[in-house]
Amino acid sequence: MKLRVLLRLLEIQRVLLRHGLDGYVRATHLYRPLRFVFFLSPGIWFARRRPGSRAVRLREALEELGPIFVKFGQAVSTRRDLLPPDIADELARLQDRVPPFPGEVARALIEAAYGAPVSAVFGAFDATPLAAASIAQVHAARLLSGQEVVVKVLRPGMRAVIARDLEVLHALAQLAERYWSEGPRLRPREIVAEYEKTVLDELDLMREAANASQLKRNFAGTGLLYVPEVYWDYCRNEVMVMERIHGVPISDLATLRAAGTNIPRLAENGVRIFFTQVFRHNFFHADMHPGNIFVLIEDPQQPRYAAVDFGIVGTLDPRDQHYLAENFLAVFDRDYRRVAQLHLESGWVPAATRLDEMESAVRTVCEPIFDRPLKDISFGRILLRLFEISRRFNMQVQPQLILLQKTLLNVEGLGRQLYPELDIWSTASPILREWMHERTSVRTLLATLRRNAPALLAAAERLPLRLERSLRTPPGTETAALATVELAALRRELRRGAWRRELGSLGAVLLLLAGLWVLAHRQPLWPAWLGLSAALALLLAGLRR
pLDDT in tens, the chain (545 residues): 677 777 887 788 788 888 887 666 665 555 555 555 555 554 454 445 566 788 888 888 888 888 888 878 877 776 666 678 888 888 888 876 788 999 999 999 999 999 999 999 999 999 999 988 889 999 999 999 999 999 999 999 988 888 888 888 888 888 878 877 777 777 888 888 888 888 888 899 999 999 999 999 999 988 899 999 999 999 999 999 999 999 999 989 999 999 999 999 999 999 899 999 999 999 999 888 888 899 999 999 999 999 999 998 999 888 888 888 888 888 888 899 998 998 888 888 888 889 999 999 989 888 887 777 766 765 556 666 766 787 788 887 777 777 887 787 778 778 878 888 887 778 888 888 888 888 776 666 666 667 766 776 676 667 666 666 666 656 554 444 444 555 555 566 656 666 666 666 666 666 666 665 555 555 666 566 666 676 666 556 654 55
CA–CA dist 299, 120 (Å, integer): 38
Alpha helix positions (H), 375-441: 379-392, 402-418, 424-439
Could you give the CA distance from residue 445 to residue 500 in angstroms, rounded to a whole number? 21
Do residues 157 and 56 make contact, with C-beta atoms less than 8 angstroms apart?
Answer: no
Of 287, 309, 333, 356, the active-site residue reads 287
Contact 138, 78 (CB under 8 A): no
Closest-CA residue to 545 (of 453, 485, 470)? 470
Residues 6+ apart with CB under 8 A from 402: 191, 194, 195
CB neighbourhood size of 12 (10 A): 21
Three-state SS at 348: coil
- Look at residue 479 in the predicted model and tell me its pLDDT: 44
Residue 10's pLDDT is 78
Contact 300, 239 (CB under 8 A): no
pTM above 0.75, yes or no: no
CA 123 to chain centroid: 38
Q: Dihedral angle at the C-alpha atoms of 320, 322, 327, 333, nearest 10 degrees?
A: 170
Do 114 and 121 form a contact (C-beta atoms < 8 A)? yes
CA 443 to chain CA mean position, Å: 29
H/E run at residue 155: none
Q: Is 287 a catalytic residue?
A: yes
- 354: Cα separation from own chain's centroid: 30
240 phi/psi in degrees, rounded to 5: -135, 140
Phi, psi of 387 (to 5 degrees): -65, -40
Q: What are the structural domain ranges in the chain?
A: 3-95, 158-200, 247-439, 442-544
**pLDDT given for residue 24 in this prediction:** 63
Spatial contact of 415 and 80, defined as CB atoms under 8 Å apart: no
Non-local CB neighbours of 33 within 8 Å, separated by 6+ positions: none
Residue 528 has a pLDDT of: 62
Angle ∠(3,6,9) on CA atoms, nearest 5: 150
Q: Is 9 in contact with 168 (CB distance < 8 Å)? A: yes
DSSP H stretches of helix in 82-156:
85-92, 103-114, 118-121
User: Cα separation of 402 and 389, whole Å?
Assistant: 18
Contact between residue 209 and residue 232 where contact means Cβ atoms under 8 Å apart? yes
Residues in the chain, how many?
545
Q: CA-CA distance, 329 to 435, in Å (whole number)?
A: 11
